[in-house]
A and B are shown apart, each in its own frame.
Chain A
């Protein structure tokens, strides 16, 4: 302000290139605007997650108690009672599905990694990938056509439900197990061969133990996925409100099926119980997912 007007204007202060704003004002504006929009999109995507967690917890927390876990459901109009039938059915079906899918999945991965690559393993890998995209309702239709009315004519039941869930879980187990087995370094295999072990001894005693945490991770993620499956069970286990212990032949219940039926009927008490079941299901999936990641992150062989 105080400088006289007669002095020549000072040369512009040198600004290092790295500190100069890029481009023209318009381009800079576009850049800023885009950043704001992208951040907005991220926030927008987080909203449903927050809302779901919040709402499921809020509505479910008052419902879930010991009675909810141990009593069967009264008619939808009446308060109280719980999803014991569903919990028992889910436990039963999942136990069978784990037994059916995980050994097959891991054996498939062993074949792909240890005996491949060849034409057959290529085909198996490709169709395993494709299988992850099969609609769950179609798996239900298939098991219905094959086992419930087809060869066997087994009728609805625990086993048929478990087969459907196992088919949903199989590609997930296979894919993750395959990735984990590939991470086992060849030095370990060669060391085992060097000690005179046969191929099967190397795989069973060296490769699989080395990959074990990763295999557990994949299997648990598959279980987390299987627990929430509803559609295939509607066609294979059918659902029931009673605790059913038979292996096959009687309709079996499961939490997601009971939740679905509870949510669609018009009585407040039944809908409340559905929210409670949603909370339980959500916690189960969460526990399995987080535990799986935790075990995976502690693995000796990791990505």
Chain B
């Protein structure tokens, strides 16, 4: 578009006279309202989600109290069809979700920053494109395949020997206390880390790639090495983007179900060693929902509401940061 051309007048205004008459004059408003109604479907679905699930879960919140439910350590499901007879405390599952997500972030955050820097500043230009493409493909692999692979290959062939050694070396530290059981918090967290790595890498790579070249050139001209340019110019400027990527990754990790379910072991205890088995909020819902009595389903619904609240807060914060950054789309892999 040439710069000096005056702004073209808005087309509909110029034709107002002909549009208001004729036998098709209702077509436009009808079309507008149709797509508008379709657009509001998203809002309706979200509103329904909040209202419907909260209403379903209300009896449990009413009995345990909101914080009593979140911090209660005992989950003793009842068998009643009509009333709440069991004790519902979600803390063991909240703990499992927090621990596995923390492990996943501890693995994925440093790796994804390093990969993003490698792809944008270090990789030979012939390699950079196919490599980032491949990393993004990793994001498309369904989580159930990660679970299968983690449970039947990665765990027995790689993690188990590694855990045994870790236990032998670090067993005095309470987080790495034996016995090594195989499934547990740590394997679930590690596989979760592999799963959120591509999403975080994709976003951080975009953020790092759009940093202004002039500043980097200026730093090089002052005699900086590449390492100094990356750590002192590029990464500080990318900070808020990295925070946003971390939160989107965290949102994913908090809500991931199947892979965690297959690797965490599914017990209802909490605390202690990272080798112990446990449950995350999502995995506990998926594992017990099928056989649960109606009142227990109410309890599971309440866990779902708590999970929804947490992921919403994390996601909205992340989106607000991403939106303020402006120029990145950020969801090539999301």
A binds B: yes
Residues of A within 8 A of B (CB): 22-23, 27-28, 30-31, 34-35, 37-39, 41-42, 44-46, 48-49, 51-52, 55-56, 103-104, 107-108, 110-112, 114-115, 120-121, 123-124, 126-139, 141-142, 145-146, 150, 167, 170-171, 174-175, 179, 186, 189-190, 193-194, 196, 198-200, 203, 224-225, 227-231, 234-235, 238, 256, 259-260, 263-264, 271, 274-275, 278, 281-282, 285-286, 289
Quote the shortest CB–CB distance from A245 to chain B (angstroms).
23
Known A138-B307, A230-B257; contact A31-B227, beta-carbon cutoff 8 A = yes
A10 to chain B, nearest CB (A): 26
Q: Which of B27, B225, B228 has the most CB of A within 10 A?
A: B225
Whole-angstrom distance between the alpha carbons of A223 and B328 in the complex?
Answer: 24
A264 CA to B286 CA, complexed, in Å = 13
Q: Are A200 and B31 in contact (CB under 8 A)?
A: yes
- Complex contacts, B301 vs chain A, CB 8 Å: 141, 145
Please give me the 9 A-B residue pairs with the lowest Cβ-Cβ distance, nearest first: A228-B142, A135-B255, A107-B38, A133-B315, A200-B31, A41-B114, A231-B257, A31-B225, A193-B11
Residue among B117, B145, B251 with max Cβ neighbours from chain A (10 Å):
B145
Is B217's CB within 8 Å of the partner chain A? no
Please determine whether A263 and B147 come into contact, CB atoms closer than 8 angstroms.
Answer: yes
Q: Are A132 and B334 in contact (CB under 8 A)?
A: yes
C-alpha spacing A199/B43, complex, angstroms: 25
Which residues on A sit within 8 Å (CB–CB) of B323? 126
Q: Told that A27-B227, A198-B27 touch, could you supply 12 new A-B pairs with CB distance under 8 A?
A: A48-B154, A127-B46, A133-B255, A133-B312, A133-B315, A139-B49, A145-B53, A146-B48, A235-B286, A278-B148, A282-B142, A285-B141
B242 interfacial by beta-carbon distance below 8 Å:
no
A111–B38 touching, CB < 8 Å = yes
Interface residue SS majority, chain B: helix
Given the known A-B contacts A27-B225, A31-B226, A42-B131, are A225 and B140 also in contact in the complex, defined by CB atoms under 8 Å? yes
Q: Which residues of the other chain, B, contact A281 by a CB distance below 8 angstroms?
A: 142, 144-145
Question: A234 contacts which of B32, B290, B318 (Cβ < 8 Å)?
Answer: B290
Question: By the criterion CB–CB under 8 Å, are B316 and A130 in contact?
Answer: yes
Is the beta-carbon distance between B255 and A136 smaller than 8 angstroms? yes
Residues from chain B with a CB closer than 8 A to the CB of A123 are 43
Is there an interface contact between A44 and B248, defined as CB atoms closer than 8 Å?
Answer: no
Q: Point out which of B119, B137, B146, B286 has the most chain A C-beta atoms below 10 A from its C-beta.
A: B286
B149 in contact (CB, < 8 A): yes
Q: Map CB proximity to A onto B35-49 as digits: 1 under 8 Å, 0 otherwise.
A: 110111111011011
Q: How far is the CA of A278 from the CA of B143 in the complex (A)?
A: 10
For the complex formed, measure the closest distance between the CB of B233 and the CB atoms of chain A, giving whole angstroms.
14
Closest to A257 in B: B144
A41-B257 CB under 8 A given contacts A134-B311, A141-B304, A198-B24: no
| Complex contact A167–B45 (CB within 8 A) | yes
A234 → chain B closest CB, angstroms: 5
B234 within 8 Å of A by Cβ?
Answer: no
Nearest A residue to B312 via CB reads A130
Distance in angstroms between the alpha carbons of A130 and B319 in the assembled complex? 7
CB of B237 within 8 Å of the partner chain: no
The answer on a CB contact under 8 Å between A141 and B42 is: no
Q: A137 to B285, Cβ gap below 8 A?
A: yes
Would you give the shortest CB distance from B52 to chain A, in whole angstroms? 5
Is the Cβ of B308 less than 8 Å from the Cβ of A132?
no
Q: How far is the CA of A126 from the CA of B334 in the complex (A)?
A: 15
Q: Could you say which residues of chain B place their CB within 8 Å of the CB of A34? A: 226-227, 230
- Does B98 make an interface contact (CB < 8 A)? no
Q: Is the CB of A103 within 8 A of B56?
A: no
| Cβ–Cβ contact A46 & B134, under 8 A | yes
Provide the bound-state CA to CA distance between A278 and B153, in Å.
Answer: 13
A138–B50 alpha-carbon span in the complex (Å): 10
When C-beta atoms are compared, the residue in chain B nearest to A139 turns out to be B49
Q: CB-CB < 8 A to B123: which residues of A?
A: 42
Q: A142-B52, A199-B32, A230-B143 are in contact. Are A135 and B282 (CB under 8 A)?
A: yes
Of A41, A114, A120, A130, which one neighbours B40 at CB under 8 angstroms?
A120
Residue of B140, B143, B194, B228 ringed by the most chain A CB atoms within 10 A? B140
Residue of B nearest to A175 (CB): B331
B223 within 8 A of A: yes
Cβ contact within 8 Å between A45 and B148: no
Assuming the A-B contacts A135-B254, A193-B12, are A263 and B331 also in contact, with contact meaning beta carbons closer than 8 angstroms in the complex? no
Residues in B with CB closer than 8 Å to A225 are 140
Q: Given the complex, which residues of A lie within 8 Å of B201, measured CB to CB?
A: 45
CB distance from B250 to the nearest CB of A (A): 10
